[in-house]
Structure 1
Amino acid sequence: MIKRLLAGVAAAGVLGGLGFLYYAWYPPIAPIERPNPASFSAEQIERGRIVAAEGDCAECHTRTDNGGGPELAGDYRMDTPFGAIYSSNITPDVETGIGAWSEEAFRRAMHLGVSRKGVHLIPAFPYDHFTKMTDQDISDLYAYIMTRPAVHMSRRPNELPFPLSLRILQAGWKLLYLRPGVYKPDPRHDALWNRGAYLAEGNAHCGACHTPRDLMGAEKKGSAYEGAVVDNWIAPALNEHNPTPTTWTEDELFQYLRFGVAPLHGPAGGPMSPVPHRFLSTVPEEDVHAIAHYFADVDHAAEREKNDKAALARAMEESKTDLIGPNVDPDAKLYQGACAACHYNAAPTPVLGRPDLALNNALWLDEPTNLYQVMLRGLTAEEGQSGVAMPSFYNALSDKDMARIAAYLRRTRTTLPPWTNLEKKAAEVRKTVQPVPVNSSH
């Protein structure tokens, strides 16, 4: 009896293994001659440029360390809990890029996460979002990429330990998390909402940064847009749990995504900065409106913005207190000397270019990470509001100084509990920032 039972278990295991291998196997797709750029129309190439911009393709497929690299040639380092991963060269170079890929092979990679050779791609390439893209958008993107300059450049090998380095294991990940299929419009919403949802959920893959991940590296189900840590910054929640006292309304979202600064929420810094400045500023305005329209619904802006007037008035009043009388609070004096001259605002609303910190995400998050990042890095004239810079305080403020300013702002600008271990956290964030030369300026 026991022998028969063990035999049955073994047989089931063998059949299950064979079934998994059948599921995991994809045939190679034959290489082709690099397509002639003249075979694509100017209209299709321009549509593809828009698709590439809305998907931020160049952001993750262009090396930024070691002096940088050619656009789309890959080798961008992504640090993950599993090890470092380097992006692929997606220029039309035949040997090191995807010049030998047919449109069929390209579409399979986008929709199913499988390379031309039949190898499973690591989901650092967010095919779980790209699977929702239409064939037309993928065809246009293919046309755009195949007409870019071919760059002969290999990427560094991934630094994944065994057995995570085995690509067949990605098939198991897909079995659990990938739901292939093009986005289907929701009949409960209008065309603008559905366009925004299609872009946000698909090509723009907003959840890849703004949704927390589980132990398998997948976006947590039921936690869409709850916020996550990305490149040593906190990508804030995009839903109703965003903690800022004024609502991210459709107009605020549009201003931020199109121009890199929202009047009541401040500028886009860190990993978010290229999104408005390099990409969404170059696409049709109606698409940016669609994304803003979608997320204004996700965060229930229409129901929440009734409290904005009182929150704004309170923030303006708090901003004035820093400049009233001889303040005996030593932390306030430090803040006045380092920050208040540029961040002071008076009623009725903040001046564009003078972000009011009482309204900024950085002070309302669970950790002071983003506040410290901006203090240490500053913002160049190309980030945030165009032409407006913030100097780096990397050399001007010690970890203790930053901790004092953070504590002061948290207790005077928010209604939230104080942050803890502020000086230790300042030191930890400093380690993630390149030292700023003493004589450098923004």
Structure 2
Amino acid sequence: MLKGARLLSIAVAAIVIASSTTWLLTRPHAPFSADDPRLTPGDAERGRLVFAAGDCASCHASPGQPDRLKLGGDLALASPFGTFRTPNISPDREAGIGSWSVADLANALIAGVSPAKQHYYPVFPYASYTGMKLDDVRDLYAFLRTLEPVADRPQPHDLALLFRIRRFVGFWKFLFFNEGRSEGILNGDPLHDRGAYLVEVIGHCAECHSTRNIFGAIEPKTRFAGGVSSEGVGFNPNITPEGIGSWSENDLVEMLKSGKTPDHGYVGWSMADVVKNTSELPDADRVAMARYLKSLPPRPTAQP
């Protein structure tokens, strides 16, 4: 009987330890608070460029209407886990993010955590945004505050039962998320390093141009080597030198400005929408992005 009691005690202790460890590993971490001295007011005009570089309108503009600054969300994003709906990020206090502080936006972009201290699903590309500079977060916040509130409420996500438990995202973060880290390959050249920041972080290009594992995380060996399109039709191309090695730096700059490709065609599908944003950037930023893309290590095209 004593032996049985001891085994029971060990089992209970193991359960308690496992439960505590799980709780700690999956706990949302919000690194910024409203009184953080680094989160001073930003510049809305600079924030407009951050908004464009981040391709925010492509996901958050209300579908079925032409105004790219009407940020009511509700774009459907299909995935193996179910259908996600993009949120309203207009300044509306009820339906949007009008009640958010700069710290709330910083926690969302850099840590993937909501003001309610819940994990965001990584369909929101905070795995890339996590490398953002706080100056850019502050400026983006200032710009978003200048826009018109939109009272539209997006539909809820339609996910398989298991994936409705946001706490499980904590496991995903433990395995695949490196808070504050950029995947950019820097070399000390200001233009190249600016391109690394735009391509890897704000522009989050790898989120579409890479292949994902069964958990929805980017496979490192396929980074920029192509991935299934967000529309579920076709394949986003390999944008390493293995795929676009024949393109010159000027070809890439022109594509980012007008959508025109070297073979006298034009980009289509979601990339056409991306170009609407990159066309608003300064010429120097498009050159920086092209310079960085040309410097990427060649990788064989991933298989759909």
- In the superposition, the TM-score normalised over structure 1's length comes to 0.61
Alpha-carbon distance between aligned partners in 2 of 1:86 and 1:216, rounded to the nearest angstrom: 19
- Verify the 8 A CA contact 1:63 1:77 in the aligned structure 2: no
The aligned residue for residue 278 of structure 2 is: 280
Q: 1:228 to 1:5 in 2, by over 3 A?
A: farther
More divergent stretch after superposition (10-19 vs 173-182): 10-19
Residue 240 (structure 1) shift: 3.3
Residue 264 (structure 1) shift: 3.5
Supply the AA of the counterpart residue of 1:148: L
More divergent stretch after superposition (122-131 vs 222-231): 222-231
Alpha-carbon distance between aligned partners in 1 of 2:133 and 2:120, rounded to the nearest angstrom: 20
Supply the AA of the counterpart residue of 2:151: H
Higher relative contact order (CA 8 A, sep 6+): 2
3-state SS of 1:153 partner: coil
Supply the AA of the counterpart residue of 1:24: T
More divergent stretch after superposition (135-144 vs 225-234): 225-234
- Verify the 8 A CA contact 1:133 1:203 in the aligned structure 2: yes
Alpha-carbon distance between aligned partners in 2 of 1:264 and 1:52, rounded to the nearest angstrom: 30
Aligned 1:51-200 pairs, distance under 5 A: 51-64=50-63, 71-183=70-182, 188-200=187-199
Residue 17 (structure 1) shift: 2.0
Supply the AA of the counterpart residue of 1:291: M
* From 5, 17, 20, the counterpart of 1:18: 20
Aligned 1:267-416 pairs, distance under 5 A: 267-276=266-275, 278-298=276-296
Q: 1:266 to 1:24 in 2, by over 3 A?
A: same
3-state SS of 1:288 partner: helix
Q: Which has the larger radius of gyration?
A: 1
Q: 1:10 to 1:211 in 2, by over 3 A?
A: farther
Supply the AA of the counterpart residue of 1:294: Y
The aligned residue for residue 261 of structure 1 is: 260
- Verify the 8 A CA contact 1:233 1:270 in the aligned structure 2: no
3-state SS of 2:139 partner: helix
Residue 68 (structure 1) shift: 7.6
What residue ranges of structure 1 are gaps of 5+ in the alignment? 33-38, 301-363, 368-442
More divergent stretch after superposition (284-293 vs 9-18): 9-18
Supply the AA of the counterpart residue of 1:296: K
- Verify the 8 A CA contact 2:241 2:294 in the aligned structure 1: no
Residue 63 (structure 1) shift: 3.2
Alpha-carbon distance between aligned partners in 2 of 1:366 and 1:141, rounded to the nearest angstrom: 36
Residue 8 (structure 1) shift: 3.8
Residue 5 (structure 1) shift: 6.2
Alpha-carbon distance between aligned partners in 2 of 1:265 and 1:226, rounded to the nearest angstrom: 23
Q: 1:155 to 1:111 in 2, by over 3 A?
A: same
Please state if 1:207 is matched with 2:206: yes
Residue 298 (structure 1) shift: 1.0
3-state SS of 2:197 partner: helix
3-state SS of 2:290 partner: helix
Residue 215 (structure 1) shift: 0.5
> What are the Cα deviations for residues 186-207 of structure 1, in whole angstroms up to 9, with x where unaligned?
5634111111111111010001
- Verify the 8 A CA contact 2:47 2:139 in the aligned structure 1: yes
Alpha-carbon distance between aligned partners in 2 of 1:180 and 1:257, rounded to the nearest angstrom: 29
- Verify the 8 A CA contact 2:222 2:302 in the aligned structure 1: no
Q: Percent identity?
A: 32
The aligned residue for residue 350 of structure 1 is: none
Alpha-carbon distance between aligned partners in 1 of 2:254 and 2:8, rounded to the nearest angstrom: 65
Residue 129 (structure 1) shift: 0.5
- Verify the 8 A CA contact 1:27 1:117 in the aligned structure 2: no
> What are the Cα deviations for residues 385-427 of structure 1, in whole angstroms up to 9, with x where unaligned?
xxxxxxxxxxxxxxxxxxxxxxxxxxxxxxxxxxxxxxxxxxx
The aligned residue for residue 238 of structure 2 is: 237
Alpha-carbon distance between aligned partners in 2 of 1:254 and 1:215, rounded to the nearest angstrom: 34
Q: 1:192 to 1:132 in 2, by over 3 A?
A: same
> What are the Cα deviations for residues 101-123 of structure 1, in whole angstroms up to 9, with x where unaligned?
11111100111111111111111
Alpha-carbon distance between aligned partners in 1 of 2:47 and 2:226, rounded to the nearest angstrom: 30
Residue 161 (structure 1) shift: 1.5
Q: 1:261 to 1:28 in 2, by over 3 A?
A: closer
> What are the Cα deviations for residues 326-378 of structure 1, in whole angstroms up to 9, with x where unaligned?
xxxxxxxxxxxxxxxxxxxxxxxxxxxxxxxxxxxxxx9978xxxxxxxxxxx
Q: 1:266 to 1:168 in 2, by over 3 A?
A: same
Aligned length: 292
- In the superposition, the TM-score normalised over structure 2's length comes to 0.86
3-state SS of 1:63 partner: coil
Q: 1:264 to 1:10 in 2, by over 3 A?
A: farther
> What are the Cα deviations for residues 64-88 of structure 1, in whole angstroms up to 9, with x where unaligned?
25x6887211111101111110011
Alpha-carbon distance between aligned partners in 1 of 2:175 and 2:44, rounded to the nearest angstrom: 36
Alpha-carbon distance between aligned partners in 2 of 1:206 and 1:27, rounded to the nearest angstrom: 25
The aligned residue for residue 356 of structure 1 is: none
3-state SS of 1:156 partner: coil
3-state SS of 2:115 partner: coil
- Verify the 8 A CA contact 2:240 2:297 in the aligned structure 1: yes
The aligned residue for residue 422 of structure 1 is: none
3-state SS of 2:220 partner: coil
What residue ranges of structure 2 are gaps of 5+ in the alignment? 35-39
- Verify the 8 A CA contact 1:89 1:97 in the aligned structure 2: yes
Alpha-carbon distance between aligned partners in 2 of 1:131 and 1:15, rounded to the nearest angstrom: 31
Alpha-carbon distance between aligned partners in 2 of 1:136 and 1:127, rounded to the nearest angstrom: 17
